[in-house]
């Protein structure tokens, strides 16, 4: 019940911020488009605008402070013993607020049989996210140390509650709270993001929330660094610390090496080499991460 209250309060704060974000326009109208290439980021696996595996402080969509934008994404990660997919949609309002939805599917394939779940057993979860940009400007604040800062929440509902309970998971639903700081260091052609996340999710929630080793939210760090090779191409690396709440299977941190390419203002393609470590006792889960994001 407490989770619901927190969500409702945050949603209220975000809505009122959206209402005041436009200043006092003489007419009610809004525009689409206007962001510079790649400055909306891509879509992270949880659905928020960001890097590949971590949210950034940028707001999704091409809109500026005068408009509305949106994105859809599909991400696939082929691992030695599993297949991971994420797809969803997000909307950005006035470069200030972002609402997102993503569905994640974790197909255990033949591994499911080995785990006693049955071949092709799939964990899936729905993730609803909201993000509010609170300070700074990642692009224009080149003369200031202050990064762009956003706070966000992700509420996740997993559809395999019985299995999660059987492996020691505490809950099939949960929420993450995070704060992200993003800054473009134009003089160095570098983009840096740091995210602090309060979470009790196991494997991002795919194996539920909390467990026999702990149920509390803990603070986890996430870092992205990107080097801009051209207006269209960024290469970089990400690292995401993970909690470890399940006794039956150690959970490792995630990291990736990525290249994101803006085909045009609407389409961004990302390829990465991602290493999710050990998942459900199956180690060395690393493979090719491919993501496509389309937006306006």
Partner 1 sequence: MITLLAIAASLALTPAAMPTPPGELPVDPYEVSNSNAGAEPLSDPAVFEAFGGIEGIDRIVDDMVERITVDPRLADIFRASDFVRLRRTLKEQFCYLLGGPCDYTGMPMRSSHADHGITTAEFNALVENLQLAMDAEGVPFRMQNRLLALLAPMQRDIVTR
| Region from 12-20, 223-231, 236-244, 271-279 binding partner 1, contact rule CB under 8 A | 223-231
For partner 1, the closer of residues 35 and 197 by Cβ is 35
Q: Is 35 in the site for partner 1 (CB under 8 A)?
A: yes
Residues that bind partner 1 (rule: CB under 8 A) add up to a total of 23
For partner 1, the closer of residues 3 and 231 by Cβ is 231
Q: Is 139 in the site for partner 1 (CB under 8 A)?
A: yes
Q: How far is the CB of 183 from partner 1 (least distance, A)?
A: 12
For partner 1, the closer of residues 65 and 159 by Cβ is 65
Q: Is 60 in the site for partner 1 (CB under 8 A)?
A: no
Q: Is 230 in the site for partner 1 (CB under 8 A)?
A: yes
Q: How far is the CB of 277 from partner 1 (least distance, A)?
A: 34
Q: Phi/psi at 176 (nearest 5 deg)? A: -110, 145
For partner 1, the closer of residues 33 and 214 by Cβ is 33
| Region from 33-41, 163-171, 196-204, 281-289 binding partner 1, contact rule CB under 8 A | 33-41
For partner 1, the closer of residues 31 and 78 by Cβ is 31
- In the complex, the residues that contact partner 1 under the rule CB under 8 A are 31, 33-36, 64-67, 95, 139-144, 186-187, 189, 228-231
């Amino acid at each position: 019940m407490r989770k619901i209250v927190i969500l409702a309060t945050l949603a209220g704060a975000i809505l009122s911020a959206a209402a005041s974000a436009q200043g006092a326009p003489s007419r009610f109208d809004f525009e689409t488009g206007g962001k510079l290439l790649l400055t909306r980021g891509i879509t992270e696996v949880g659905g928020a605008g960001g890097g590949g595996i971590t949210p950034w402080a940028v707001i999704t969509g091409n809109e500026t402070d005068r408009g509305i934008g949106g994105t859809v994404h599909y991400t696939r990660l082929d691992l030695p013993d599993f297949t991971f997919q994420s797809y969803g949609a997000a909307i950005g309002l006035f470069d200030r607020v972002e609402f997102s939805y993503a569905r994640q599917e974790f197909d255990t394939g033949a591994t499911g049989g080995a785990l006693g779940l049955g071949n092709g057993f799939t964990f899936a979860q729905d993730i609803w996210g909201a993000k509010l940009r609170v300070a700074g400007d990642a692009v224009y604040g080149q003369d200031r140390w202050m990064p762009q800062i956003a706070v966000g929440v992700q509420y996740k509902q997993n559809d395999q509650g019985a299995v999660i309970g059987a492996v020691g998971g505490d809950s099939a639903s949960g929420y993450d709270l995070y704060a992200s700081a993003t800054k473009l260091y134009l003089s160095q052609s570098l983009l840096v993001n740091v995210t602090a996340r309060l979470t009790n999710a196991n494997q991002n929630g795919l194996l539920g929330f909390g467990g026999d080793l702990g149920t509390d939210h803990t603070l986890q760090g996430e870092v992205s660094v990107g080097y801009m090779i051209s207006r269209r191409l960024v290469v970089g690396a990400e690292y995401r610390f993970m909690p470890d709440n399940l006794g039956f299977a150690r959970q490792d941190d995630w990291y990736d090496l990525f290249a994101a390419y803006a085909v045009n203002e609407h389409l961004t393609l990302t390829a990465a080499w991602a290493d999710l470590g050990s998942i459900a006792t199956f180690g060395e889960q690393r493979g090719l991460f491919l993501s496509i994001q389309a937006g306006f």
